[in-house]
């Protein structure tokens, strides 16, 4: 079966350094402030012709596990995390083709502030910017901004919809040809082509126009990660790229089909919504080396179960320190107002205990891909053949320069050799590259 080329994104877990104690991690535990390893990563991504790097974020230090920050800080788990907008600026400066998508919580900004910030970044990067708009998965993030906690799940998406509509109205305040910069007539901008937004909704209002001027891309790339029906509807209505984690190719296909159907129901061309699936590959020079590394990772999780449980506690808002480890998940009846995808994880692993499911997952959701570059490239080809598109979001539980090289100098050349991923960028702007295939 021939597979059409697919897209590659990198899922950067913020600028935290949880791999600081691992082999081949250099001195990242003490050098993290300069974010140099992430600059190296961006340059390597660009060499490997990734479409974009997505900078994940949540704006709090975890303490859900056992009601303490201890595990999170001891293991540098998602803390420290520098502001993704600042990191995006640094990565934009270090690259010229790679797309950059920082995450923003709708609760953490006013739409005008975000529209101006991302608009400015789109200008500075010459049209390579996006924004991953999230509604938050924990009360803690909201509490840092003065709210008591998260609103009810679906109503968060209603607020996010107001937010995005306000932002779009602001990005649209400058017509593309408003700036003429004509030295002969002495006119820099044609004021008849710059408009007020005059946006009013239940949650936000904004007057406009945006004082930072037009964006090279008109609007930045919108990324979304909704997993629930309401989340999928939101993504299908607004997103240019949807990021998702699904355990099997069948689930990926089902998810992508749902997003595409929903996009059609909103009058959009489904090919304009690129769905990228999270994978956490383990690459070795031989199959046995890769298998050994998976076994070592599982043993590491088993020996330090609290780290994996604390990670899940942070994203689900469930305190796993108070959940029995050796009772089947199906009997526990856990639920959350955070990510609804945990319900799916519980249902899929209903017969496993929390301990067993956590070790099997080994800190990474998505399908297990392990082996030589050639073998993993083949697995990715097979998955895309079954799913139909549109690509993968590659992640790791902790960036080291060794892992970067395994992907960009090991795996990607194999994908390119098979004609599955691009060997060069056809365009300067992110949207054009995303829409190329
Ligand atoms: C690949 C991926 C990346 C995500 N990145 C973030 C993030 O950076 N920050 C955040 O607060 N939530 C993030 N989320 C959580 C989503 O925003 C969303 O809450 C989650 O997918 C659940 O969707 P649902 O609420 O529609 O079930 C991410 C989810 C996925 C699947």
User: CA-CA distance, 277 to 321, in Å (whole number)?
Assistant: 30
Strand 179-182 relative to strand 187-189, pairing: antiparallel
> Which residue's CA is the closest to the ligand 1 atom numbered 5?
56
Best substitution site from 59, 137, 243 to test ligand 1's pocket, by max atoms within 8 Å of Cβ? 137
Question: Is position 390 annotated in a ligand binding site?
Answer: no
Please compute the mean of the pLDDT values over residues 106-124 and round it to a whole number.
Answer: 97
* pLDDT class of 339 with cuts at 50, 70, 90: low
> Which residue's CA is the closest to the ligand 1 atom numbered 22?
339
* pLDDT class of 114 with cuts at 50, 70, 90: very high
Question: Is position 57 annotated in a ligand binding site?
Answer: yes
pLDDT recorded at residue 348:
81
Per-residue pLDDT tens for 199-246? 999 999 999 999 999 999 999 999 999 889 999 999 999 999 999 999
167 lines ligand 1 (CB under 6 A): no
Which domains are assigned to the chain? Answer: 7-173+209-286+368-435 (3.20.20.30), 288-361 (no CATH)
Per-residue pLDDT tens for 139-154? 899 999 999 998 888 8
Per-residue pLDDT tens for 384-396? 999 999 999 999 9
State in Å: Cα 132 to ligand 1 middle.
9
State in Å: Cα 226 to ligand 1 middle.
6
Question: Is position 103 annotated in a ligand binding site?
Answer: yes
138 lines ligand 1 (CB under 6 A): no
Residue % of the chain over a pLDDT of 90? 83
* pLDDT class of 363 with cuts at 50, 70, 90: low
Per-residue pLDDT tens for 317-333? 889 999 999 999 889 88
Which residue shows structure tokens 């820099």?
188
pLDDT recorded at residue 2:
75
CB neighbour list of residue 158: distance below 8 Å, 6 or more residues apart: 202
Best substitution site from 139, 225, 393 to test ligand 1's pocket, by max atoms within 8 Å of Cβ? 225
**Cα–Cα–Cα angle for 260, 266, 272, rounded to 5 degrees:** 50
Does residue 365 carry a pLDDT above 80?
A: no
Does residue 342 carry a pLDDT above 80?
A: no
312 lines ligand 1 (CB under 6 A): no
State the average pLDDT for the chain. 94
């Amino acid at each position: 079966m021939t597979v059409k080329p697919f897209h590659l994104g990198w899922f950067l877990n913020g600028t935290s350094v949880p791999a600081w104690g691992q082999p081949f991690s250099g001195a990242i535990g003490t050098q993290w402030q300069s974010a140099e390893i992430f600059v190296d990563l961006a340059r390597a991504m660009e060499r490997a012709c990734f479409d974009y790097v997505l900078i994940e974020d949540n704006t709090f230090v975890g303490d859900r596990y056992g009601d303490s920050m201890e595990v999170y800080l001891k293991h540098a788990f998602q803390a420290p995390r520098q502001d993704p907008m600042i990191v995006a600026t640094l990565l934009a400066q270090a690259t010229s083709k790679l797309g950059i998508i920082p995450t923003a919580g709708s609760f953490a900004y006013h739409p005008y502030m975000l529209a101006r910030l991302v608009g400015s970044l789109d200008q500075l990067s010459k049209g390579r910017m996006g924004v991953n708009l999230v509604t938050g998965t924990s009360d803690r993030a909201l509490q840092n901004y003065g709210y008591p906690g998260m609103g009810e799940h679906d109503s968060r998406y209603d607020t996010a919809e107001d937010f995005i509509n306000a932002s779009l109205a602001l990005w649209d305040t400058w017509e593309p040809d408003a700036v003429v910069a004509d030295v002969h007539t002495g006119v820099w901008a044609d004021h008849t082509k710059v408009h007020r937004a005059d946006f009013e909704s239940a949650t936000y209002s904004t007057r406009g126009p945006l004082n930072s001027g037009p964006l090279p891309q008109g609007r930045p790339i919108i990324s979304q990660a909704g997993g629930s029906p309401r989340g999928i509807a939101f993504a299908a209505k607004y997103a240019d790229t949807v990021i998702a984690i699904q355990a099997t190719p069948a689930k990926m296909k089902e998810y992508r089909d749902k997003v595409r159907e929903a996009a059609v129901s909103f009058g959009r061309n489904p090919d304009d919504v690129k769905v990228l699936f999270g994978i956490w590959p383990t690459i070795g020079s031989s199959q046995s080396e890769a298998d050994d590394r998976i076994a070592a990772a599982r043993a590491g999780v088993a020996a330090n179960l609290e780290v994996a449980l604390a990670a899940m506690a942070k994203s689900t808002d469930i305190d796993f320190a108070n959940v029995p480890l050796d009772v089947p998940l199906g009997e526990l009846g856990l639920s959350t107002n955070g990510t609804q995808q945990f319900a799916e994880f519980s249902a899929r692993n209903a017969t496993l205990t929390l301990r067993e499911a956590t070790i099997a997952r080994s800190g990474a959701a998505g399908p297990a891909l392990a082996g030589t570059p050639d073998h993993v490239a083949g697995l990715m080809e097979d998955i895309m053949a079954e799913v139909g598109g549109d690509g993968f979001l590659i992640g790791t539980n902790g960036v080291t320069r060794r892992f970067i090289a395994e992907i960009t100098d090991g795996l990607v050349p194999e994908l390119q050799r098979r004609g599955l991923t691009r060997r060069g960028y056809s365009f300067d702007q992110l949207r054009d590259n995303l829409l190329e295939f």
